Every structure is written in structure tokens, then in C-alpha cells.
């Protein structure tokens, strides 16, 4: 329904409010009002009252630093707001909902001094720097324009101090640029594109999760060891930055290190439902491996339909960038024996105490074991809370510099650190293999962890993908 | 260099996709032709058919019951929606009709999401149609072959109702000139309600028979809605045969283009639509005088 996006009623008030706030002189005169202008003026007035102190921002705060972004206005009340734009509808709705729950749990834990959150951010004290943290969530539908509009609303109405979200690197890249322009911190959430901390990196953006290049370098050696050299692979790629960069990273590894051949790469638009034409091309390609880079519902449908066409099990399925809930949706018959790289899997609780605490409290609250969308969201907020409390201020350049110290900090998977040059977290990538139904110990025991690969060996040189971070102010 | 076995397989894909699009579009086009309301909730009707069928399948384990439940439930939803909501919009401007049907679509989708969540649901094909069939020149999923037959039968049934029954004659007359039908003493509002019900049923039926191919989720109708519009524009608004022709053309364009470069499949579809709009604004089988 793309044609009607701009008419979505939910966004209109924000856009109007921002116009009216930024240019009070443009408000309609109180005479001869049309109905629409009256409405617009009303929204402007309501919007203005929601933002106390807008007229004397910067003067009221007797700090030696000039106002920047939503600072200091965003942290002058009794609470600070985090604005999240995650997909709650569309192709990535299932994964976005998992992210939302991870955020919700993190905020609850920050405000209640939960021991797990204390481990990630020791200086929280029933909140951050004396402020309660409040979470605002909007549906991005995995569309960049919708995500940016949602965040703009949050900035106008709530002066958010942190933006979060994506699931779709197209959104992450758009919010990266938006964050840099608005000078508001942004944590990317699920984003698999090399570009997010590569050519589209920004000073104000950070990424906790793994991505195409680290996934490729983690899973590549396993594939070569398992299946040998000089094999033939078909790729399925979603047509945007995540798909293209991840396919390139995986294909480069397999061709350069293993002499594999990419016999076809079927590129499909995000939100494809019928994959028959792509699968027909793959069926006629002579490939031995189906490397499916599709994600979310696209991955579910393309995998199910590959089975319908007999491509699975004729070809061996590989999932380089694991999709939360894929195994649950397609069933263990299709994922048994499949190799995948991922950010987190709940059975890691056996090895990492913090992971165990997370899985337990998540399961208690939501009734299922968290996927890596929730883990990624939770840890991202934990790291933000740590950096803000360590810096002792919400002033964004100081928080950024705290991240850029590159100190060793905890995560659910042991010690990690942010790389100052590109703001990418150096963190392990988890390798898993799908379990057969008979080997599953419970109804969520879909994957067996076969490797935990340290992040530093998996990453490209900080400048290899063209990252230039930009200014602090 | 064209790989001919791939080409034939793609033509076949186009046929299956096209038949499905034809069925959904025929529902949309008779509603628009008769009532003059462009039903933006048509994609949601497709989705509702899938869910109603899935619920029935969960309880009975029977594919036939699922298909009947999907079609009939959506027909009922169509009848009730027309009676309670759409009817009050006939005299209002087209923008209002677009808004109310668009809103209805959102309500249907989010209601389903509220009760069933976003995780996709699978309806397995009937045991007779599982597996893969070797056609000699290619192998093809058996259910998709069956789907072609099922949809063809449904289209024939719809054709029979529209062209061989009295009610069909009234509907076709309504498409040409509903004011005249009204002045001939026929209760045109009852016809409108029935047409909305039948048109919705076509989408609901398509929704459940497609469920074994594309597992259902609340958003399953969104993409279909866009393609369906393209089909209606290509075929000609209000033309049942146009919807069938348009569906098959759209299916073939998408499939055959994907052989050369899948990224251009939908671009080609919209180029075709644009060409039709420029060269024959009323569609391939539409006619200029309809209102």
C-alpha cells in the first residue's frame, strides 16, 4: 500500500506540529480560518504546550555548552524519553515485536535497578542520572520514510534523548543520517548491512549487532570445512543495502577462499510473497547450495516455497544471517542441519551467566525465550545507559566520547568494546546448526550452538568500507 | 541466450500467478463496476479468507471445509460491510469511499494481528495434491498445478453466474448503467449488496486456496492489492473478461521478466500498465461509457 503511505493519519499531526513550531510566524491568522487551517493552528498550539521551555531553550541551562539536538531540553524534566521506530507491521513485524519487548524489558530494568542491567550499566540508580527512562514506540513498517517521520514526532513532542530502531538496514542508514543531522544519539538495533557502520556510518550512530561481513567471515570457514572447495551456490538476496552487502561478503569469502562459484543471484524486492519465478531460475541453475539472505517473512516464504519446488532438500540450505523465529515458522523439518550465523541464541545461557539472567527474566515476562532481536535491543539500551552514566551527562558529544574510549564492557556474551573509528561493537558471532525435531529438548530448542567466534578476527579494517564519522557538533 | 526449459517453467509460473490475480481482480472489478466504489479493503478480504480457512482447518483438519469456510466467511463479511458501512458512502465523494475502505482494511488487518499475532500460519495442501509432479519437461509442485485447476473452476463458476443467470444479467446491466436498472423497478441496493458479497467472496476464496502456497500473515493482502489494481487497469475497469486477460498478462510479465533480471519484474508490470493507460485508457477490454 505504498501509494497511500503519505496519507497515513498517524503521521500528519507531527508534520504539522513541526512546521508550526519551527516557524511561528507562519501560523495562520485567527481571521477567516478555513476548517483545515483551524485544525492546523489547533495542533500547533497543542504541540507548543507539550514542549515546555521551547522559547528559552539554551538560555535556561546555565552550562558552558551550547544547546545541541534535544539537549538540554530533553533531560530537564523528571524523565527522559527514548524513541523507538521498529517494524510492527509488514515483512519484519515478527522480528520488530521481539525488539520492542527487549526494549521494554531494558527500560523496566533500568528504572528498577535490576541486577542484570546493573551488570551492564553499574551506575544506573532507578533510572539514569536521576531521571526515569520512558520508552516511546512507533511502527516503522521497515520503511525509512515512516521511521524518520516517527522519530521526528518523538523529537517534537517528547525531546527524545536517544533514538533506537531499524530491522531493515535501509531504515538504519536513513536514521543514521537523520541522527547526525538532528544531533541526537541513535542505536541501530537489527541491521545487517555493512554500510551501517561502513560507508553510511555517522558520529551519532552506534551498532551493537553482527553484520554481513562478520557473518560471512564466521560462517565461511565452517562451510568450507564441511562441504569442501569448488562448489556451486545460488543466492537469494533482498533488494536493499542489507541484502546486497551481505551477499557480497558471503560470496566474496566463498569464491576467494574456497573457489566456489555463484551460479545465480536472485534479487527480490522486500515483501515478495510468491518466489516461484526466482526459485524456477534457481532450480534450473545447477546449484548445490541455496544461500538464502532473505529476511523476516521473505525468508519464511522463500524457504517454504523452495521446499514446495523440491529445491530443498535437493540443494543444501544455508542461512548466513539468522532470522529470529525462522525455525519456529517454517518448522524444524526445514531447518534441521542448516548452518547459520547469529547474534544470540538462548541456549548460550549454559555458558554465560548474564545470558541466563536475560533469558529467564524475558521468558518470565513474555512467555517465550527471547530471540536475538530482543537481545540486541536489550544490550543496546544497556550500553547506552552505561555510557550516559559513566559520562555523567546527557550532552551527546560527551556520551559519544565515552563510547569512543573503546573500554572493555560486559555484554550477554562476555566482554566487548565499541570500535572508536566506526562505532561498531566488537562482539562474537554465534554459529548454529538446525536440530532435527527428534533432538529438540523443548519446543524452542531449534538450534545447536556449534561455535562462538571472537569478533576482532571477523571484522574488516575500520576504514575498509569507507566510514567517515562526521562532526560532534 | 535463453534457457528454454527455464522459459517454459516461467511461462507456467506466470499462468498460475496470473490465474490467481485474475480471480482476485474479478472480484474487485465487478464491485467497482457495479457500485462505483474502489474497495481498498479487497486485499484485507483476501487475508480474511486465509485466516477463516486456517481456523476451520485447525478445528476440522479438512482442506475442503477450510476452503468453504474461507469463502463463505468473507462473503458474509462483505454483505455485512456493505449493509452497515459502504451503503452510506454511495452518494459521497470518491475520496470518502477510498478513505473508508482503506480504513476498513486497516481495521481488518489489525484485528487479525491482535488475535493471531504476526507469526505466519500454514495450511498444508490436501494430501491428494502434496509433493512434486514430473511433467516431463519440468518438475512442478503438485499443489500449484491443482491451484490452476481450482482457480479455473472458480472463474468458470463466476462466469456462469454473471453471464448465464438472471442475477448475473442484472449485475452486468448495473455495471453498464445502475440508474437505468433502478428505474426499471429492480431493487438496485439489494443487487449492490450481493455484488459486494460475491466480489469479496472471490478474494476470500483466493485467500484460502493460496494459503498452502504462501503461508498467511496479517499483511498478506497488501502486496496483492497493488497487483490487483494493476490487473484491473490493464484489463479494463468493470470488465470480468478483462480481469482474466489482465491477470494472465500480469502474471506472464512478472515471471518472464524475472528470467532476465528479477529486479525489473514489477517495474515491467507498471510499464505495461502505463502503456495501457496511454494507448487505451479504458483498459484492454473496458469500454468508455461506463459509470
What letter would DSSP give residue A190? S
Total structural domains in chain A? 2
* A48 falls within a domain: yes
A443: CATH: 3.40.50.2300
- What angle is formed at CA B248 by the lines to CA B243 and CA B250, rounded to 5 degrees? 90
Provide, as residue numbers in chain B, all residues whose Cβ is less than 8 Å from the Cβ of A86: none
> What are A184-233's pLDDT values in tens digits?
999 999 999 999 999 999 999 999 999 999 999 999 999 999 999 999 99
> Are residues A280 and B9, on separate chains, in Cβ contact within 8 Å?
yes
Q: What mean pLDDT comes out for the span A413-430? A: 97
Confidence of residue A166 (pLDDT cuts 50, 70, 90): confident
* A375 falls within a domain: no
- pLDDT above 90: percentage of residues in chain A: 83
> Are residues B262 and A281, on separate chains, in Cβ contact within 8 Å?
yes
Confidence of residue B1 (pLDDT cuts 50, 70, 90): low
Contact B51, B121 (CB under 8 A): yes
pTM for the model = 0.86
Confidence of residue B289 (pLDDT cuts 50, 70, 90): low
Q: What mean pLDDT comes out for the span A89-106? A: 96
Distance CA B196, CA B228 (A): 16
**Given this model, what pLDDT does residue A22 score?**
38
* A177 falls within a domain: no
State the ipTM, two decimals.
0.86
> Are residues B141 and A310, on separate chains, in Cβ contact within 8 Å?
yes
For an interface test with A, give the residue of B214, B221, B227, B251 to mutate (most A CBs within 10 A): B214
> What are B58-106's pLDDT values in tens digits?
999 999 999 999 999 999 999 999 999 999 998 899 999 999 999 999 9
User: What is the distance in angstroms between the Cα of A65 and the nearest Cα belonging to chain B?
Assistant: 46
* A154 falls within a domain: no
Contact A453, A431 (CB under 8 A): yes
Could you tell me if B41 lies within 8 Å of chain A, comparing CB atoms?
no
Residue A234 has pLDDT above 90, yes or no: yes
User: What is the distance in angstroms between the Cα of A139 and the nearest Cα belonging to chain B?
Assistant: 13
Could you tell me if A371 lies within 8 Å of chain B, comparing CB atoms?
no
Confidence of residue A167 (pLDDT cuts 50, 70, 90): confident
Strand partners, B121: B216
Give the SS3 label for residue B25: helix
Provide, as residue numbers in chain A, all residues whose Cβ is less than 8 Å from the Cβ of B140: 309
Domains of chain B (ranges, CATH numbers):
4-279 (1.10.3470)
**Given this model, what pLDDT does residue A48 score?**
42
User: What is the distance in angstroms between the Cα of A307 and the nearest Cα belonging to chain B?
Assistant: 9
Range of the domain at A11: 6-52
> Are residues A276 and B17, on separate chains, in Cβ contact within 8 Å?
yes
Q: Is the peptide bond before A72 cis (omega within 30 degrees of 0)?
A: yes
Distance CA B134, CA B131 (A): 10
Residue A82 has pLDDT above 50, yes or no: yes
> Are residues B262 and A277, on separate chains, in Cβ contact within 8 Å?
yes
The closest alpha carbon to A329, from A29, A123, A67, A98, belongs to A98
Residue B188 has pLDDT above 90, yes or no: no
* A449 falls within a domain: yes
Residue A118 has pLDDT above 50, yes or no: yes
**Given this model, what pLDDT does residue A17 score?**
37
Q: What mean pLDDT comes out for the span B261-286? A: 89
Provide, as residue numbers in chain B, all residues whose Cβ is less than 8 Å from the Cβ of A93: 113, 118, 217-219
Cβ under 8 Å to A: B residues 152-171? none
Distance CA A319, CA B105 (A): 34
* A333 falls within a domain: yes
Residue A134 has pLDDT above 90, yes or no: yes
**Given this model, what pLDDT does residue B264 score?**
84
Residue B115 has pLDDT above 90, yes or no: yes
* A174 falls within a domain: no
Could you tell me if B8 lies within 8 Å of chain A, comparing CB atoms?
no
User: What is the distance in angstroms between the Cα of B221 and the nearest Cα belonging to chain A?
Assistant: 10
The per-residue DSSP string of A5-60 comes to: GGG-TTTHHHHHHHHHHH-GGGSPPSSS--HHHHHHHHHHHHHHHHSTT-TTTTTS
* A203 falls within a domain: no
In this predicted structure, which of A115-129, A258-272, B165-179 has the lowest mean pLDDT? Answer: B165-179
Angle between helices B42-60 and B220-235 (to 10 degrees): 130
The closest alpha carbon to B234, from B286, B280, B273, B291, belongs to B273
Amino acid at each position: 500500500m505504498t501509494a497511500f503511505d503519505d496519507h497515513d493519519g498517524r503521521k500528519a499531526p507531527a508534520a504539522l506540529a513541526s512546521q508550526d513550531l519551527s516557524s511561528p510566524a507562519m501560523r495562520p491568522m485567527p481571521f477567516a480560518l478555513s476548517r483545515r487551517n483551524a485544525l492546523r493552528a489547533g495542533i500547533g498550539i497543542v504541540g507548543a504546550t507539550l514542549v515546555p521551555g521551547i522559547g528559552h531553550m539554551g538560555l535556561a541551562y546555565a552550562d558552558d555548552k551550547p544547546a545541541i539536538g534535544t539537549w538540554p531540553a530533553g533531560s530537564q524534566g523528571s524523565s527522559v524519553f527514548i524513541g523507538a521506530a521498529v517494524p510492527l507491521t509488514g515483512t519484519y513485524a515478527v522480528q520488530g515485536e521481539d525488539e520492542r519487548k527487549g526494549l521494554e524489558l531494558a527500560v523496566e530494568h533500568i528504572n528498577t535497578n535490576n541486577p542484570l542491567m546493573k551488570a551492564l550499566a553499574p551506575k544506573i540508580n532507578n533510572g539514569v542520572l536521576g531521571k526515569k527512562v520512558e520508552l516511546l514506540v512507533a511502527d516503522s513498517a521497515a520503511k525509512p520514510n515512516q521511521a524518520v517521520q516517527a522519530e521526528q514526532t518523538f523529537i517534537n513532542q517528547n525531546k527524545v534523548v536517544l533514538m533506537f530502531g531499524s530491522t531493515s538496514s535501509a531504515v538504519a542508514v536513513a536514521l543514521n543520517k537523520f541522527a547526525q543531522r538532528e544531533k541526537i544519539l541513535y542505536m541501530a538495533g537489527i541491521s545487517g548491512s555493512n554500510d551501517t557502520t561502513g560507508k553510511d556510518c555517522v558520529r551519532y550512530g552506534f551498532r551493537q549487532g553482527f553484520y554481513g561481513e562478520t557473518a560471512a567471515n564466521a560462517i565461511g570457514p565452517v562451510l568450507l570445512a564441511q562441504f569442501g572447495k569448488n562448489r556451486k551456490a545460488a543466492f537469494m538476496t533482498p533488494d536493499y543495502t542489507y541484502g546486497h552487502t551481505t551477499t557480497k561478503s558471503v560470496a566474496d569469502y566463498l569464491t576467494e577462499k574456497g573457489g566456489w562459484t555463484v551460479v545465480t543471484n536472485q534479487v527480490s524486492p522486500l515483501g515478495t510473497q510468491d518466489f516461484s519465478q526466482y526459485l524456477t531460475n534457481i532450480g534450473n541453475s545447477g546449484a548445490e547450495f541455496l544461500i538464502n539472505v532473505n529476511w523476516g517473512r521473505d525468508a519464511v516464504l522463500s524457504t517454504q516455497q523452495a521446499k514446495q519446488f523440491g529445491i530443498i532438500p535437493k540443494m543444501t540450505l544455508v542461512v548466513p544471517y539468522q532470522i529470529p523465529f525462522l525455525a519456529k515458522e517454517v518448522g524444524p523439518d526445514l531447518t534441521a542441519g542448516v548452518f547459520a550465523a547469529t547474534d544470540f541464541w538462548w541456549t548460550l545461557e549454559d555458558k554465560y551467566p548474564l545470558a541466563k539472567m536475560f533469558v529467564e527474566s524475558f521468558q518470565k515476562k513474555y512467555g517465550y525465550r527471547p530471540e536475538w532481536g530482543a537481545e540486541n535491543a536489550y544490550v543496546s539500551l544497556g550500553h547506552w545507559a552505561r555510557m550516559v552514566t559513566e559520562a555523567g551527562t546527557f550532552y551527546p558529544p560527551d556520551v559519544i566520547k565515552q563510547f569512543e574510549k573503546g573500554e572493555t564492557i560486559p555484554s550477554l556474551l562476555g566482554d566487548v568494546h565499541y570500535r572508536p573509528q566506526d562505532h561498531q561493537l566488537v562482539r562474537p558471532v554465534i554459529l548454529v546448526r538446525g536440530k532435527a525435531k527428534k533432538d529438540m529438548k523443548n519446543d524452542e530448542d531449534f538450534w545447536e550452538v556449534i561455535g562462538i567466534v571472537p569478533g576482532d578476527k571477523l571484522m574488516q579494517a575500520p576504514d575498509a568500507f569507507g566510514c567517515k564519522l562526521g562532526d560532534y557538533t | 541466450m535463453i534457457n528454454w526449459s527455464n522459459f517454459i517453467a516461467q511461462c507456467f509460473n506466470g499462468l498460475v500467478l496470473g490465474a490467481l490475480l485474475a480471480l482476485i481482480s474479478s472480484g474487485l472489478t465487478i464491485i467497482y463496476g457495479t457500485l462505483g466504489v474502489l474497495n481498498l479493503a479487497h486485499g484485507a478480504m483476501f487475508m480474511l479468507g486465509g485466516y477463516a480457512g486456517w481456523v476451520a482447518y485447525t478445528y476440522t483438519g479438512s482442506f475442503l471445509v477450510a476452503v468453504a469456510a474461507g469463502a463463505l466467511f468473507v462473503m458474509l463479511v462483505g454483505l455485512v460491510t456493505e449493509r452497515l458501512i459502504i451503503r452510506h458512502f454511495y452518494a459521497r465523494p470518491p475520496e470518502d469511499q477510498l478513505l473508508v475502505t482503506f480504513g476498513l482494511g486497516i481495521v481488518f488487518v489489525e484485528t487479525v494481528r491482535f488475535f493471531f499475532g504476526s507469526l505466519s500460519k500454514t495450511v498444508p495442501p490436501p494430501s491428494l495434491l502434496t509433493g512434486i509432479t514430473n511433467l516431463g519437461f519440468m518438475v512442478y509442485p503438485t499443489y500449484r498445478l491443482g491451484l490452476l485447476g481450482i482457480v479455473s473452476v472458480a472463474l468458470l463458476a463466476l462466469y456462469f453466474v454473471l453471464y448465464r443467470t438472471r442475477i448475473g444479467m442484472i449485475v452486468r446491466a448495473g455495471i453498464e448503467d445502475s440508474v437505468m436498472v433502478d428505474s426499471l423497478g429492480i431493487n438496485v441496493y439489494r443487487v449492490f449488496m450481493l455484488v459486494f458479497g460475491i466480489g469479496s467472496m472471490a478474494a476470500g476464496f483466493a485467500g484460502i486456496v493460496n494459503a498452502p502456497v504462501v503461508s498467511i500473515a496479517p499483511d498478506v493482502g497488501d502486496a496483492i492489492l497493488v497487483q490487483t489494481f494493476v490487473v484491473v487497469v490493464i484489463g479494463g475497469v468493470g470488465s470480468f473478461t478483462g480481469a482474466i486477460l489482465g491477470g494472465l498478462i500480469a502474471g506472464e510479465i512478472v515471471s518472464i521478466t524475472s528470467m532476465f533480471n528479477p529486479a525489473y519484474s514489477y517495474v515491467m508490470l507498471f510499464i505495461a500498465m502505463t502503456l495501457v493507460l496511454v494507448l487505451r485508457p479504458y483498459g484492454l477490454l473496458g469500454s468508455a461509457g461506463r459509470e
